[in-house]
Amino acid sequence: MTDSLQQFLLNKDYIKVKLKLAKTNHFEIKATINGVEGLFILDTGASSSCVGFDAIETFKLNAEDSKIKAAGAGDSNMETQISNKNIVKIGKWQDPKIVLVLFNLTHVNTALINHNSRPVDGIIGADILIKAKAIIDYEKRYLYLKK
């Protein structure tokens, strides 16, 4: 992405957030949920943004039972809960009405640790990326989100 395109996006009210490439080739991103910062995988293939069951208290989530079953790489038919109206902040982008899916992230974090990567608190998925009109600069490792 050329510098002029970066400037174009910034002039169009996008904000720029640095991405870190993990050893697993996943992009890691810091995000804040309900005022608490965490580490997340940026996953364009995940339909919903997710947080692990073990982080319910950490992120002050109001968890409700859900009939939805989660599926992902390495596991399927996982029990979930849902948490509505969460304030999610990524860089200077913020939305106070984000719905998060809660499930057991043990298999995800075990895989990350086995590949010498850090465990994560959750996944930033396509729901947030679409809402924020996200653009990913893979070469320079930036995420652009519309204010």
Q: What pLDDT, on the 0 to 100 scale, is given for residue 41?
A: 97
Per-residue CA distances from 67 to 41, 79, 119 (Å): 24, 8, 27
Residue of 121, 117, 114 lying closest to 88 (CA atoms): 121
Rounded mean pLDDT, 114-137: 96
Give the per-residue pLDDT at 118.
94
Q: Where do the structural domains in the chain lie, given as residue ranges?
A: 3-146
What's the whole-number average pLDDT of the chain?
91
Cα(109)–Cα(141) distance, integer angstroms: 22
**Of the listed ranges 34-38, 64-68, 79-83, 85-89, the one predicted with least confidence:** 64-68
pLDDT at residue 25, rounded to an integer = 92
Tens digits of residue pLDDT in 86-111: 999 999 999 999 999 999 999 899 99
Q: Which CATH architecture has domain 3-146?
A: Beta Barrel (2.40)
pLDDT at position 69 is 55
